[in-house]
């Protein structure tokens, strides 16, 4: 009785294997409209491996925290990485109170 039951249960458990790395090309559904706009603009220009955009102003859209890892940052200083992001978001930043920006090159 037990051997056949355990075989059936074992057949229902999928085998473990390495899953391929999957990049998502659309903004996460939890972002509001302004966060989504920023996310999509940075994604288009920098093709990031990791991107997090959050409104940290309590919802009024005056301050954002952006954390981004991109191959496009390889070989350039952090100051130049920040300048690159600032140039991409120049229009948006002009209406903000502040920006918390963390950038990082993808270390291979």
Give 67-93 pLDDT, tens digit per residue.
999 999 999 999 999 999 999 999 999
Q: Could you report the per-residue pLDDT of 43-52, keeping only the tens digit for each?
A: 999 999 999 9
Laid out side by side, the sheet with 63-70 consists of 50-55, 63-70, 98-105
Architecture in CATH of 32-108: 2-Layer Sandwich (3.30)
Residue of 49, 38, 33 lying closest to 90 (CA atoms): 38
Q: Are strands 63-70 and 50-55 parallel, antiparallel or unpaired?
A: antiparallel
Specify the pLDDT at position 102: 98
Q: Which residue do the tokens 């994604």 mark?
A: 43
Q: Cβ(46)–Cβ(81) under 8 Å? A: no
Whether residue 38 contacts residue 53, with contact meaning beta carbons closer than 8 Å, is answered with: yes
Could you tell me the pLDDT band of residue 59, with boundaries at 50, 70 and 90? confident
- Closest-CA residue to 92 (of 58, 69, 66): 66
Q: Is the pLDDT of residue 4 over 70?
A: no
61 vs 16: which has the higher pLDDT: 61
């Amino acid at each position: 009785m037990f051997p056949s039951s355990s075989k059936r249960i074992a057949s229902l458990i999928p085998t473990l294997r390495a899953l391929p790395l999957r990049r998502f090309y659309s903004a996460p559904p939890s972002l509001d409209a302004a966060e989504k706009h920023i996310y999509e603009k940075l994604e288009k220009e920098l093709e990031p491996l990791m991107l997090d955009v959050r409104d940290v102003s309590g919802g009024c859209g005056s301050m954002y925290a952006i954390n981004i890892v991109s191959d496009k940052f390889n070989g350039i200083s952090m100051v130049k990485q920040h300048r690159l992001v600032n140039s991409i978001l120049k229009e948006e930043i002009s209406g903000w109170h502040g920006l918390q920006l963390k950038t990082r090159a993808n270390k291979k």
